[in-house]
Structure 1
Amino acid sequence: MHNKRSLLRRGAAVAAAGAAALVLAACGGNDDGSAGHGGHGSSTASASASAPAAQGRHNAADVAFAQGMIPHHRQAVEMADLAPTRARSAEVKKLAEEIKKAQDPEIRTLSGWLASWGEEVPAEGAVDHSSHGAHAMDGMMSAEDIDELEKASGEAFDTAFLEMMIEHHEGAVDMARTEQADGAHGPAKEMAEDIVTSQSAEITRMNRLLGKD
């Protein structure tokens, strides 16, 4: 009898454990179901969490874009700084002011990216015009070009400024398109898109001021 009672108790325990297992499985099923919805939430959360990480990734093209665009922008700002005292056209003065207003903050942003990546930020002296021949493909002006612009005034300045800045902008647009194609850093690619859009529009505007449109 004792053995029989023990067997019965064991059987009841096994049955209870089995029932508990079924309950747990059912709960687990509900969790899985909600995790199915929550699974999307979880994936979305993961995707959102990984977005900044993806934006933080960068490659050699991003570094080249930032290191090239900083001196490029600095030269555009330097040229724009000449307009208030030399230009005759109010439109040229306004354009120069807009160029400076747009590109100064971008220089700071580009410098910040390079610093955060542990890459070299081009020194201010990078716009010394000594090596601009090497940058002819990206629209940088030579020392002689800048000298000519500094000595001009009135209509002569307006014409020289617009012609040089068109070439300068075309170079920037080419550099930005390269970044769009080859870069990995999300914010840098976004800046490149902005540069293509805004500077292409300014090229059209400058051609119109020159009577070429």
Structure 2
Amino acid sequence: MFTRTIARRAALAGAGTVVVLALAGCAGDHSPSGMGHDQPRSTTTGASASAAAFGPADVMFAQMMIPHHQQAVEMADLAATRAADPEVKRLAGQIKAAQAPEIATMRGWLAAWGRPMPSPGGEMPHMDHGMPGMMSAADMARLAAASGREFDRQFLTMMIAHHEGAITMAEDELADGANSDAKKLAQEIITAQRAEIATMREILARL
């Protein structure tokens, strides 16, 4: 898959080396700001991740998953005012509650590792391919223009594809990553989003 190609290119750019970040003083004194949020899905913290080995695949995972999650949160926010089905609204709230803290966690990792944050559009200098499951600007505009049952159907269809893309990236992290906290979050994403995909397919089938 092209995502695995991205990770491998990043690994080559990093000379295949796993970097250990040397922290001055105790790791607990250097926790990134903003990491005190409750995390419904993950207990991983930027502080613990910063104290462990990390490699290019871990950096790529965080840099790609942050904008991917941000788009899911944006879609969930649309559902709060446009969805008709109560179950769609409930699921959208669940997605936002899980992914917003994960964004903060991954941003903390990048800060601790001394690696750049993705831009609001999700682009990084070495990312010359799109991320799997990401909606285009036209897709997002179409979703924002919809309401009621039509919104519900579009939201579910798009979010299923979006989740499948996140699972692909998380599987790449499990295969290629070195950081135990990043791999733990990747597994949590896979487990949670597979369950949400099953729920969304059930809702879509009855609409």
Q: TM-score, normalised by structure 2?
A: 0.71
2:198 to 195, 204, 213: 204
Is 2:169 aligned against 1:185? no
Is residue 70–residue 107 contact of structure 1 (8 Å, CA) maintained in 2?
yes
Corresponding residue of 1:126: 121
Is 2:88 aligned against 1:112? no
Between structure 1 and structure 2, the one with the greater Rg is: 1
Q: Distance in 1 between matches of 2:139 and 2:121?
A: 16
Q: Aligned-pair distance for 1:134? A: 3.7
Q: Distance in 1 between matches of 2:49 and 2:90?
A: 39
Q: Aligned-pair distance for 1:55? A: 6.3
Is 2:85 aligned against 1:79? no
Corresponding residue of 1:12: none
Q: Distance in 1 between matches of 2:81 and 2:49?
A: 46
Contiguous gaps of at least 5 residues in structure 2: 1-47
Query: If each structure's helix is expressed as a fraction of its own residues, which one has the higher value?
Result: 1
Corresponding residue of 2:22: none
Higher RCO, 1 vs 2 (CA within 8 Å, ≥6 residues apart): 2
Letter aligned with residue 106 of structure 1: E
Deviation readout 1:111-130 (Å, 9 max, x if unpaired): 0000100000113x2259xx
Distance 1:93 1:146, change over 3 A: same
Is 2:55 aligned against 1:59? yes
Contiguous gaps of at least 5 residues in structure 1: 1-51
Q: Distance in 2 between matches of 1:153 and 1:134?
A: 31
Q: Distance in 1 between matches of 2:155 and 2:175?
A: 30
1:16-165 to structure 2, matched below 5 A, reads 56-123=52-119, 125-126=120-121, 134-135=129-130, 138-165=132-159
Q: CA RMSD in A?
A: 2.2
Q: TM-score, normalised by structure 1?
A: 0.69
Is residue 75–residue 127 contact of structure 1 (8 Å, CA) maintained in 2?
no
**Alignment: residue pair count:** 156
Corresponding residue of 1:170: 164
Is residue 49–residue 182 contact of structure 2 (8 Å, CA) maintained in 1?
no
